[in-house]
């Protein structure tokens, strides 16, 4: 592991975004093993929560196998150097959840909203700041807003006290040029650092993360082995390896990250993160990555095509938090097929 100051800060979200890919079934042993492995590799920040953030364990989003606050407490105990982070979506998580995890040892809160709804983050950003936690404003599904629109939303989060602003390509729908334009606009408009959270549905996550760094982003996300919603996230170990090839200092041990991915994370994955038809359609249609498994279940239940469901969700511009629309769309498609005599 390098002792040189890194050129960007790496936040690993295996234990939060990766939760989507395993239907939120992390257990204590898995969490402790992943935290210890990432910590030894020099990862600066490790994020852990239900895939949909604090309070996400529910019928609508999927129940956790183990209470998230129990897992967060174990993560905080398992780390030596890495800061433990959580994610909260206002309306799913509560201000009291931030107080609870702060007492457990969480040092960073990422307050996430849809990319046009930053105004709903004010209470939670201010609560997090009042607790002394580093606080990041996190704008999801950023392909659904223009660079200028993202700046307008980001300035709100900055005014509430956010220490950094992220945008998430939650659908893995962005090209490298899309990322460059948005990062450039934010870097030029904001007084706080900028970060990018990339998904891999178009096989662009690593390239987009490097492009984000080149445009001035100083915080980048990854997950071990790419474990995450949809076709997965930017793989932490690949981002680190490619960064080394570019001469970008990461401060992490690339080989140790490879060991975590190969020896700890891959064996527990129910399916490897590949860009299959459904995953590709998510990026092509611009649909939230966490809809992948929900749409698969709906397709099987109502005997309709998962691709049809995802394309229709994309046409309707459905966003995170509207998981109930997956069932509505599947039912409508099943009815149409029935009426058509299929």
Most confident of 3-12, 30-39, 224-233: 30-39
Using an 8 Å Cβ cutoff, are 277 and 307 in contact?
yes
Q: Write out the residue range of the structural domain in which residue 201 sits.
A: 9-268
291-328 per-position pLDDT tens digit: 877 888 888 888 888 888 888 888 888 876 777 788 88
Confidence of residue 265 (pLDDT cuts 50, 70, 90): very high
Give me the CATH number covering residue 319: 1.10.8.60
Residue 286 in domain? no
Which residues are designated catalytic? 20
> DSSP for 118-142?
GGGGHHHHHHHHHTT-EEEEEEESG
Beta bridge partners, 85, equal 47, 108
Burial class (CB in 10 A: 0-12, 13-18, 19+), 85: buried
The whole-model pTM stands at 0.89
**Tokens read off for 270:** 């129910």
Nearest of 217, 265, 262, 210 to residue 240 by alpha carbon: 210
From 214, 234, 268, the end of a domain falls on 268
Residue 279 in domain? no
**pLDDT score of 332:** 86
Give me the CATH number covering residue 220: 3.20.20.70
**pLDDT score of 145:** 96
Please tell me the chain's helix, strand, coil percentages from 3-state DSSP, rounded to the nearest 5.
Answer: 50, 15, 35
Residue 102 in domain? yes
Q: Same domain, yes or no, for 149 and 83?
A: yes
**How many domains does the chain contain in total?**
2
Confidence of residue 147 (pLDDT cuts 50, 70, 90): very high
Read off φ and ψ for residue 267, nearest 5 degrees. -60, -20
**pLDDT score of 3:** 57
Q: Same domain, yes or no, for 161 and 295?
A: no
Compare 52 and 321 and report the one with higher pLDDT.
52
Q: Same domain, yes or no, for 297 and 235?
A: no
Q: Same domain, yes or no, for 191 and 93?
A: yes
Q: Same domain, yes or no, for 302 and 197?
A: no
């Amino acid at each position: 592991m390098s002792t040189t100051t890194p050129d960007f800060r790496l936040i690993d979200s295996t234990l939060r975004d990766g939760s989507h890919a395993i239907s939120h079934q992390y257990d204590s042993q898995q969490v402790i093993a992943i935290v210890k492995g990432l910590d030894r590799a020099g990862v600066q920040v490790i994020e852990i929560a239900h895939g949909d953030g604090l309070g996400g364990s529910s019928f609508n989003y999927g129940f956790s196998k183990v209470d998230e606050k129990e897992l967060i407490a174990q993560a905080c105990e398992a780390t030596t150097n890495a800061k433990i982070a959580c994610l909260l979506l206002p309306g799913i998580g509560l201000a009291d959840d931030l107080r609870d995890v702060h007492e457990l040892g969480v040092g960073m809160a990422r307050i996430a909203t849809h990319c046009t709804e930053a105004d709903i983050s004010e209470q939670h950003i201010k609560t997090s700041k009042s607790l002394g936690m580093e606080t990041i404003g996190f704008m999801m599904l950023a392909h659904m807003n223009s660079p200028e629109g993202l700046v307008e939303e980001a300035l709100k989060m900055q005014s509430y006290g956010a220490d950094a602003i992220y945008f998430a390509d939650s659908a893995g729908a962005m090209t490298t040029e899309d990322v460059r334009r948005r990062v450039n606009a934010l870097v030029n408009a904001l007084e706080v650092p900028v970060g990018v959270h990339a998904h891999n549905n178009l096989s662009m996550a690593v390239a987009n993360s490097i492009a984000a760094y080149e445009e001035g982003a100083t915080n980048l996300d990854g997950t071990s082995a790419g474990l995450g919603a949809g076709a997965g996230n930017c793989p932490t170990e690949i981002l680190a390896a490619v960064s080394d090839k570019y001469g970008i200092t990461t401060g992490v041990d690339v080989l140790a990250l490879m060991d975590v991915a190969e020896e700890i994370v891959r064996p527990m994955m129910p399916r490897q993160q590949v860009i299959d038809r459904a995953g590709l359609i998510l990026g092509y249609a611009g649909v939230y990555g966490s809809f992948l498994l929900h749409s698969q279940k709906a397709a099987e239940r109502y005997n309709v095509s998962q691709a049809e469901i995802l394309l229709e969700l994309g046409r309707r511009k459905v966003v995170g938090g509207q998981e109930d629309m997956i069932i509505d769309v599947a039912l409508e498609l099943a009815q149409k097929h029935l009426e058509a005599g299929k």
